[in-house]
Amino acid sequence: MNLQGMTLHERAAQLMFPRLGSNMPPPVRVSEDLDRFEKLLDACPVGGLILFNGAHPSTREALSRLQRNSRVPLLVASDIERGVGQQIRGATVFPHARAYAAAGSEELLESSARAQAREALASGIHITCSPVADVNRDPRNPIIATRAFGADPHEAARYVRAFIRGTRAEGLLTTAKHFPGHGNTSQDSHSEIPVVRADRDEMEAFDLLPFRAAIDEGVDLVMTAHVIYPALDPERPATLSPAILRDLLRDEMSFRGATITDSLLMGAIRNSHPDAGSQAAALVAAGVDILLDVPDPIAAVDGIVNAVDEGVLEEEIVDAAVARVLGLKKRLIDRFGGDIFGAPETLFDADPIGAASTRDLAHRVAYSALDVVGGSGGVLPLKEKGEDILGVLIKPHTTRLDPEEEPFGEAFRRAFPGARYRQVGPEATEAELGDIRSLAESSRIVVLALVVKPAAWHAFGLLPEQHHLAAELVARHRTIVVALGSPVVLDDYPAAALRLCAYSDVEVSQEAVVAFLRGT
C-alpha cells in the first residue's frame, strides 16, 4: 500500500472512518447496517470504520465480507474501553478503568489488556479507542469519571502504560484519549462544548502527564478532545487547533503516530462549520489524520479535494495524513500477514472470544476492586436465606440495549433466595416507590445499589425522586449503599450502615458485589 497511483479523492477517502452499526436511538445492529455500508464503499473507498452494536460470530463474518469488497484494507476501530463485549455480544465485558486503580494492580490491567486484544483481533477489530488517559480532576465530571484510572496523574500514567504494554504485546493498536485532557470538565462534550480554564503549568503537571507516558510507551493513535483550552488556544477546540495538534502534540511532545478525532456526531463539534466539506478540510489542516464517525464521508472527501484545488489546504498535508493511516495498516500486515484484514479467526489456534478464562479474569478484577469506603461495619456477611433483606437497584437512565433487569437482580435472588428485590428506573411510578417503602418497613437490612456512571447525553447522578427515595431509606433503615460506578454518590449518604464502591456497573462488578455481601 502506497500513495502512488491513488487519486486525490482516493487518498482523502482513506481519512474517513464512518460508523457501522449504532448504539444511538434507534439502535442499529452491524448485520442490519451491512448493505448500507457496502453501497458507501462503492461510492467512497473509505480507509476504515468505527464499529458499534455487534454480536459474535456474525460481526466477524460481516467485517470479513466488507474486507473482501473493499479496494483497500479497512482499519476497524471500536470503542471497547471495557473490552470487546462492550460492542460485540458474546465477547467479554471488563470493569471500568477506575476499577483497576482500586484493585491496585498493574499486572491485572496488563493481563486484561492482552485478553481484550486477543478478543478484538479475533473479531476483526484492529484499533481500540482506549486507554482513557484523562485525569479525572473534577469529581462531578459527567462523562469521564470511572472511565479514567483516577485523579492522580502519576497513577493514571502508570496504568496507561500498563494497558498499552498489554495491547501492544498482542498487536492491537491503541488510542490515548481525549487529548489534551477531558478530566477537568463539568460538561459533556456529547451535547455542548466544555472549556478547561487551567493554565499551561497546571495542565503540564496534571492533564498532559499521562499522554506523555502513552507516547513514551509507543501508543499508536491519539484521540482529540472536543474541548476548548484557552491557555493553549483561546478560540478553537483541540480537535480544530493547529496549536494543540501540531505545535504541542507533534512538535513539543514528539508524537509520530496518527491523530484521530472523537466522534464527529457529538454536539461540541457537529456544527463547527457550515457544511461537512469545509469542516473536513479544517480538521485535516489543523493536524487530524482520521475523521472518526464522520456523518457524510462523500461530502467530507469532496471538501478536502476542493480545498486542495483552491489552494486553501496543502496537498502535502493530506498526503502526510494518508501515509500515517497506511502506516497503521502496514504495521498490522507486517506482524500478522494479510489474514488480519480478511480471516482473523485464523490468527489463533482456538477462538478466544468469550473464553471462560477471560471471563474469570474479568471477575477477578471486579472483586479485587471492591472498596469499603465508609460505615460502622458489623452487617456482613448477610444471612444466606435473606428473608429479612430487601434489595433495591436504582438507575437514572436506560437505553434500548439495556436488559429489562440488571444482572444484580438475578445474582441477588440466587444468593439470598428468601429476600425481596426491586429495580427502580427513570420512569418508576409512585405506586412502585410506595411498594419499596412498604417492603423496607418489614426488612432488617436494605441493600441499595446505585448506578451512577458517565453516559453520553445523560445528566450525571440520580434523578431527584430517586435521590429522595435513597435518602429516606438510609435515614429510616439499616442500609448498605453500593455505588455501581462513581464513589461520588456515596457522599450523599454518610449515615449508611456500610458504603461500598465497585467503580463499575458491568455484569461482573454487579456479581462481585453480591458475592462480597454474602461473604464468598
46-78 burial: b if 16+ Cβ within 10 Å, else e: bbbbbbbbbbbebbbebbbebbeebebbbbbbb
Cell of 447: 441493600
**Measured between alpha carbons, how far is 350 from 373 in angstroms, rounded to an integer?**
42
Q: Using CA of residue 362, residue 132, residue 55, residue 69, what is the dihedral sign?
A: negative
Q: Which amino acid is at 481?
A: V
Q: How far is CA 338 from CA 76, 335, 505, in A?
A: 14, 9, 38
Identify the residue whose cell numbers are 431509606: 473
Residues with Cβ < 8 Å from 340, sequence gap 6 or more?
Answer: 121, 126, 332, 333, 347
**Measured between alpha carbons, how far is 103 from 518 in angstroms, rounded to an integer?**
20
- HEC states along 353-422? CCCHHHHHHHHHHHHHHCEEEEECCCCCCCCCCCCCEEEEEECCCCCCCCCCCCHHHHHHHHHCCCCEEE
Q: Which amino acid is at 3?
A: L
- HEC states along 243-293? HHHHHHHHHHCCCCCEEECCCCCCHHHHCCCCCHHHHHHHHHHHCCCEEEC
**Measured between alpha carbons, how far is 294 from 44 in angstroms, rounded to an integer?**
13
190 is annotated as an active-site residue: yes
220 is annotated as an active-site residue: no
What's CA 378's distance to the chain center, in Å? 37
Q: How far is CA 340 from CA 122, 173, 329, 331, 335, in A?
A: 9, 12, 10, 11, 9
Q: How far is CA 106 from CA 48, 52, 85, 110, in A?
A: 32, 28, 22, 6
Angle at 112 between CA 127 and CA 63, to 5 degrees: 35
DSSP H/E element including 452: none
Number of CB atoms found within 10 A of residue 312's CB:
14
Q: Which amino acid is at 234?
A: P
Q: How far is CA 178 from CA 44, 132, 144, 184, 406, in A?
A: 28, 7, 10, 11, 30
Q: Which amino acid is at 261?
A: T
Q: Using CA of residue 138, residue 143, residue 149, residue 154, what is the dihedral sign?
A: negative
Pinpoint the alpha helices (H) of 71-220. Answer: 97-103, 106-123, 153-170, 200-205, 208-216
Q: Which of 96, 178, 190, 363 is catalytic?
A: 190
Q: Parallel, antiparallel, or unpaired for β 16-17 and 291-292?
A: parallel
Q: Which of 262, 293, 296, 505 is catalytic?
A: 262
Hey, which residues are catalytic here?
A: 190, 262
